Amino acid sequence: MKKFGTGAIHFFLITVSIVSLFPFAWMLIGMTNSSAEVIKGKFSFGAEFSNNVAKLLEMTNLGTAFWNSTLIAVVGTIATLILSSMAGFGFEIYRTRGKDRLFGVLMLSMMMPFAAIMIPLFRMFSKMGLLDTPAAAILPSITTAFMIFFFMQNTKSFPRELLQAGRVDGLNEWSLFARVYMPTMKPTYAAAAIITFMNYWNNFLWPLIALQSQDKKTLPLVVSSLSSSYSPDYGVIMVAIVVTTLPTLLIFFLLQKQFVQGMLGSVK
């Protein structure tokens, strides 16, 4: 009876694992097949890979899109980490009733649906003349209540004696932040960086509105426009999807621990 139970559990988990992994296998296989073969469901490697890559490079500005995505994600992540950790540090270390209240109000922004703010945001960026620039893609999420919350939570376990010691050594508050807090909190920064990078890298709705000319597009926008054309070439699309997914997949495998920590961060 007990044996049977374990067997059933393994069967269930293997099934779920196969379903989870199948689309990954599908995109790797699809990238080596022609569009017709992908649509016909051919589930074996083909010989079209270099052909698909050549077509993709011809049809899109893939290099530019990759660069745009990288620029937006890297600059966005660095700025978000600095600003959000500043706030997390300030709200937690110098805790007062006024600041707690302010933080409570800021948390409300987490419940605001993006669709409800995108139109005024669009008009705001249009007035500022920033539409179609990387800045437009970066700015709206450059500080989020979620990230501030994440840093606050993790700051709770920060050893405050370090700050006292630094003050005795004559450091002012900003150098305490930069030279004591930041290095001590490296694991938190790593986890936060992964989550923020993923959000910028994968973002779709706002870039779709804010970045309209061809040479400003990010990778998800390229994938989406390839697949919504009248006769989508699925072999080519698979290559684009693999290019889009590879960086986040690599980050996941290299930094699995921090990755999961980042996801869990807010509910410690």
Partner 1 sequence: MNSKLTRSNLMGWQFVLLPSIIIVLFSFYPMIQSLFLSFQSGRGNVYHYSGMDNYVRLFGDPMFRQAVWNTLLYLVVQVPLMLFLGLIIAYFLNIPKLKFKGFYRTAIFLPCVTSLVSYAVLFKSIFAVDGVLNGMLLSIGLIHEPVVWLMDPVWARVVIVVAITWRWTGYNMIFYLSAMQNIDSSVYEAASIDGASKMRQFFSITVPMLRPIILFTAIISTNGTLQLFDEVVNLTNGGPGNSTMTISQYIYNLSFVYTPNFGYAATVSYAIVVMVAVLAFLQLKVGGEKK
For residue 254 the two structure tokens come to 């290299």
Q: What's CA 165's distance to the chain center, in Å?
A: 36
Whose Cβ is closer to partner 1: residue 50's or residue 127's? Answer: 127
Q: Which is nearer to partner 1, 54 or 119 (CB)?
A: 119
CB of 57 to partner 1, least distance (A): 19
**Angle subtended at Cα 266 by Cα 260 and Cα 268, rounded to the nearest 5 degrees:** 85
Q: Tokens standing for 116?
A: 């409800």
CB of residue 87 to partner 1, shortest distance in Å: 4
Q: Cα(85)–Cα(147) distance, rounded to whole angstroms?
A: 8
* Cα gap 166→164, rounded to integer Å: 5
Q: For residues 176 and 141, is the Cβ–Cβ distance under 8 A?
A: no
- Shortest approach of partner 1 to residue 50 CB, angstroms? 20
Q: Output the CA–CA distances (angstroms, integers) from residue 3 to 9, 12, 257, in the order listed.
A: 10, 14, 32
Nearest-approach distance from CB 112 to partner 1, in angstroms: 6
Question: How far apart are CB 149 and partner 1 at their closest, in Å?
Answer: 12
- Find the shortest distance in angstroms from Cβ 259 to partner 1: 8
* Burial tier of 233 (Cβ tally within 10 Å: 0-12, 13-18, 19+): buried
Which token pair is 250?
């690599």
CA distance 185 to 192: 11
Nearer to partner 1, 15 or 159 (CB): 15
Closest to partner 1 by CB, 53 or 251: 251
Judged by CB, which is closer to partner 1: 57, or 110? 110
CB-based contacts of 250: which residues, under 8 Å, 6+ apart?
none
Nearer to partner 1, 64 or 224 (CB): 224
